[in-house]
Every structure is written in structure tokens, then in C-alpha cells.
Amino acid sequence: MRKILAVCALVLVSAAMSFAAPASSKAKSATGATKIYSAIEAKEGFVGGRLFDVLDSVGGTGTWMEWDVNGVRDPSLVKILDPLLNSTNKPKMIWVITERDKPLLAVLLPKGAGEVLVFYEIGKLDAKPVALKLNNVLTPDVVFRDYRQVSEKAFVHLDRPNLKISVLDKFIRFTYDNPDETPLRYDPDFATKTLVEKRAEVNDYLGFLKYEYSMMLRAFVQSTRGIFNWQPWHWYMEKWNSKYMISAKEIEQMLSKGVRPDYITVFKAKASTGEMVEMRTTGNGFLEMVITRP
């Protein structure tokens, strides 16, 4: 989403929208327990890019992630969302942003001829980790909503043509190709370094690969819907992903070989449904996620 200054966002939306003041400290949400952080109304609906302008002006820096109704349900969200989902005025869209002191939940609701965005501040996202699995039914119109189909088995992202998906009988392959002018440095003399030097270099690699992992999540997981049971934010949480991530020991072993690898596997998991899910990078701007069926 586009990041803009809050002042600019207010200028953009004030002409067409009326703003509801943030709830007072005594105000309660529909659940009777959670406070509403803010509510912003568009009397004729959020048109064009204004919806995302408003989301970014309230959420600040970071990325809004779409909530999946079929994904793992965080109890802190369920107590807010269930009354709304069971009402006659059901949400149109639901998002979460985590890159702030406390996560924010944003719910887009119909209101007369227009819409209202209601924001809730969440203490924490509190679902307990569960095994990764693929959903039983994958509907292309839902999964690839942000893609256009260019052939029987190939899809290209609507806004980023270098983000592609191939769907074959035995696997689904996601690729993102954006060559880096400063590729990952590789030292063929790593094995001769001191223990302190090795540790520093391994830590540098860990930091870089965590960044690459976050890029793959944004490119692959967050541009599709309904593939996995994990919500988008669960992929970032150490208590969910730690046993599937590349370790410092594995990085040291890789560097000690003295030969640059073609790919570095950053994340690898066997889903409870039998599929293998692997994310890897060349360190030079090429990212890949492959889901292999058993």
C-alpha cells in the first residue's frame, strides 16, 4: 500500500468524508469489552484509492494484512468479529496491522449508502501455534484475486508483472524477480576466519535472510488468499515459524563449504496435509516459493 503523510491523507479524504471522533475511554465496541480506536465514515463509500489512504493514515508505516475467514482464529479478534459476522450488517473487508506498539484491526462495514471503517486496538494476537496446512478447496477466483491468468497454468500479478505463479499437477511455484545491484556478499575464505568473525558474518546473513523472508511473505503469502490455515501475521511470529526457518548452524555450514550456493532455503515446512512448502532466495533479487504436493 502507498505510504503517505497523515496530513496529506486528511486533505484527500476530508472533502468527501465525515470523520467520527475516536471513542472515549468509556466507549465500548459491539462486544461490550473492546474499545474502538477510531471510526471513519465515507457517506458515498470509499472510492478509488481513498480506502487505502485512510488505512495508511491511521495505521502508519507497515503493511495491512487481510484477515482470512477460514484461517486460524485469534481469540482477541474473534470476540470482536463474531458479533459482526453474525449480524445483518456484515463486514465487507477485514485487515490487521502489527507494526506498531499494539496491533490494529480494521473492519469495513456498510452504512446506509456509504461505508464506515472501524478501527480496534488489540492487546495482542493470541492464537496458539498450530501445524501449517493447506486448505482442502482452493478456488482460483479467490486465491488469485490480484492476478490475471495469462495461460492455462500461469498467472501474473495485476500491479507487479515480475510476480508470477505457475500451477502444475504436482506443484505451485511462485516467483519474484527484481535483480539487486548489490547482491549478497559471499566470502570463500569464511572457514579461515576467527570465531568472532564467523559469528558476526553468520549474524549478518541471518538478518539479511529474515528480510528476504519478509519480502517473500509480502510477495507470495499476502498477494494470495485462502491457501494456508495460518493468517498472514502468524508467518512473522517466531513461536509459529522458528522450527521451519534456516538456523545459524545451517548458515555456518553453508558458508564453510567455500562455494556460493545457487539458492538459499530460508523456510521449509511439511504441512500436516502432506505438502512441502519451501521459500528460497538467490541473494540477488530472485525469490521463490514452491508448494509440492505429495
What would the pLDDT profile of 177-235 be if each residue is shown by its tens digit? 998 888 788 889 999 999 999 999 999 999 999 999 999 999 999 999 999 999 999 99
Amino acid at 141: D
Structural domain includes residue 173: yes
Structural domain includes residue 127: no
* Domain final residue, candidates 121, 152, 178: 121
Answer yes or no: do 112 and 151 share one domain. Answer: no
Structural domain includes residue 101: yes
Answer yes or no: do 148 and 286 share one domain. Answer: yes
* Domain final residue, candidates 86, 121, 156: 121
Structural domain includes residue 133: no
CA-derived radius of gyration, the chain: 22
Q: How many residues does the chain have?
A: 294
Answer yes or no: do 175 and 113 share one domain. Answer: no
Residues 6 or more apart in contact with residue 114 via CB below 8 angstroms:
41, 42, 43, 44, 45
- 73-111 per-position pLDDT tens digit: 999 999 999 999 999 999 999 999 999 999 999 999 999
Lowest mean pLDDT segment, chosen from 132-141, 147-156, 200-209, 269-278: 132-141
Structural domain includes residue 130: no
Give the residue-averaged pLDDT of 55-69: 93
Residues 6 or more apart in contact with residue 270 via CB below 8 angstroms:
276, 277
Decide: 54 and 1 in contact? Cβ < 8 Å. no
Number of domains in the chain: 2
Task: Dig out the grid coordinates for 292 from the structure.
Answer: 509440492
* Domain final residue, candidates 94, 121, 148: 121
Answer yes or no: do 146 and 71 share one domain. Answer: no
Answer yes or no: do 153 and 237 share one domain. Answer: yes
Answer yes or no: do 101 and 184 share one domain. Answer: no
What is the pTM for the complete model shown? 0.85
Answer yes or no: do 113 and 190 share one domain. Answer: no
Structural domain includes residue 135: no
pLDDT value of residue 34: 64
User: What range does the domain containing 200 cover?
Assistant: 140-292
